[in-house]
A and B are shown apart, each in its own frame.
Chain A
């Protein structure tokens, strides 16, 4: 009798922990604003974040800054909502972004940088080459002279767009600001 009670408690704890882990990621996604392929949690780094979002941030973006300091947009797909694949070529097209400076970084699906012989993982507003107020960045396994982030290996990847000291429009209406487009050019 007591044994069955103990088993019920153990099963309950296992279910509770499993459902917590699942819910953390699900609910964090629910409280996320979307702009094309880009997703952003404006509660990142804030003390007002609920326990689920805070847990998701601790899992996925430990030591994130609050929204007045930096806003983090994450893309798992291109602008047609197809998963980003390391064996494909993409171009990212953008222009002015309302922030003091910005960066776009490529990460593997485990959220760490992808090794490459050029030590290039990102572009920033300071090193991107502009053309008449616009810029285009290539993501490819193939070499490009500039505005290029190398892709290596197989599987999926993600992009993180960081806007530092963003304008108010970024965190007050992230759905409506003009963010870069991620365009698939082809796969190998």
Chain B
């Protein structure tokens, strides 16, 4: 009888801790699976339409933000992000690792006009970009732009169409 209780207790404790520790990763994997099976490719930027009640992918979406995103895989090449930063409104880009940790965020107070960000997995000595070091090779980048007035949505849409999120070319390291 004692060994059954021990087996129950050990498997309960281990499964409890494994479930809690890996739940964020599991949710992100499911999210990636959903997005990639919907046709979204890695290392490419996508612009979600303005949020309304039909959006049911991520919980608690903000209807006051325009979201753009990029699923990254930097196992082969670093990732280059180039953004024309909107004027006179809040803008930010946040980096999440495969456990949903928000390991880096930059906003329009930190950078003006244009942001050039290089996401690397190791070290990089680069002068012409902000270097962000990722803890793992896969993750998610989320761009947020505040919509202070619905009338400026076309202007913000036009601006974000110029944004890039793509594998970096070697010239950046010269």
Name A's B-contacting residues (CB within 8 A). Answer: 4-5, 8-13, 15-17, 19-21, 23-24, 45-47, 51-52, 54-55, 57-66, 69, 72, 100-101, 103, 105, 107, 110-116, 119, 121-122, 124, 126-127, 160, 162, 164-165
What number of A-B contacts does a CB cutoff of 8 Å give?
A: 160
Complex-state Cα separation, A54 to B28, whole angstroms: 12
From the candidates B14, B53, B62, B92, name the one contacting A69 in the complex (CB within 8 A).
B92
A12 engages B28 (CB within 8 Å): no
CB contacts (< 8 Å) of B19 on chain A: these are 16-17, 20-21
Interface status of B3 (Cβ within 8 A of chain A): yes
Interface status of B36 (Cβ within 8 A of chain A): no
B63 engages A121 (CB within 8 Å): yes
B16 engages A113 (CB within 8 Å): no
Known: A5-B3, A45-B102, A112-B53. A61 touches B59 (CB 8 A): yes
Q: How far is the CB of B86 from chain A (nearest CB, A)?
A: 14
Considering the complex, give the chain A residue whose CB is closest to the CB of B65: A103
Complex-state Cα separation, A69 to B149, whole angstroms: 21
Extra inter-chain contacts (11) besides given A58-B27, A65-B102, A113-B53, CB under 8 Å: A10-B11, A13-B12, A15-B12, A16-B13, A16-B18, A20-B16, A58-B23, A62-B27, A69-B94, A111-B60, A124-B64
Chain A interface mostly: mixed
Interface status of B9 (Cβ within 8 A of chain A): yes
B53 engages A55 (CB within 8 Å): no
Interface status of B103 (Cβ within 8 A of chain A): yes
CB contacts (< 8 Å) of B96 on chain A: these are 63
Interface status of B127 (Cβ within 8 A of chain A): no
A12 engages B52 (CB within 8 Å): no
Interface status of B61 (Cβ within 8 A of chain A): yes
B11-50 vs A: 1/0 string, CB under 8 Å?
Answer: 1111111111101100110010000000000000000000
B53 engages A5 (CB within 8 Å): no
Q: How far is the CB of B5 from chain A (nearest CB, A)?
A: 8
B103 engages A47 (CB within 8 Å): yes
B100 engages A165 (CB within 8 Å): no
A62 engages B16 (CB within 8 Å): no
A20 engages B15 (CB within 8 Å): yes
B90 engages A19 (CB within 8 Å): no
Considering the complex, give the chain A residue whose CB is closest to the CB of B99: A54
Interface status of B140 (Cβ within 8 A of chain A): yes
Q: How far is the CB of A12 from chain B (nearest CB, A)?
A: 3
Complex-state Cα separation, A9 to B90, whole angstroms: 52
Considering the complex, give the chain A residue whose CB is closest to the CB of B4: A8
B148 engages A124 (CB within 8 Å): yes
Listed by A's residue number, 13 A-B pairs whose Cβ atoms lie within 8 Å are A8-B7, A13-B11, A15-B8, A16-B11, A16-B19, A17-B19, A20-B15, A45-B94, A52-B20, A62-B59, A113-B53, A115-B54, A127-B148
Known: A12-B9, A24-B20, A113-B53. A54 touches B100 (CB 8 A): yes
CB contacts (< 8 Å) of B60 on chain A: these are 60-61, 72, 105, 107, 111, 160
From the candidates B4, B53, B61, name the one contacting A4 in the complex (CB within 8 A).
B4
A55 engages B15 (CB within 8 Å): no
Interface status of B101 (Cβ within 8 A of chain A): yes
CB contacts (< 8 Å) of A63 on chain B: these are 58, 94, 96, 100, 102, 140, 142
Complex-state Cα separation, A15 to B7, whole angstroms: 12
Q: How far is the CB of A24 from chain B (nearest CB, A)?
A: 6
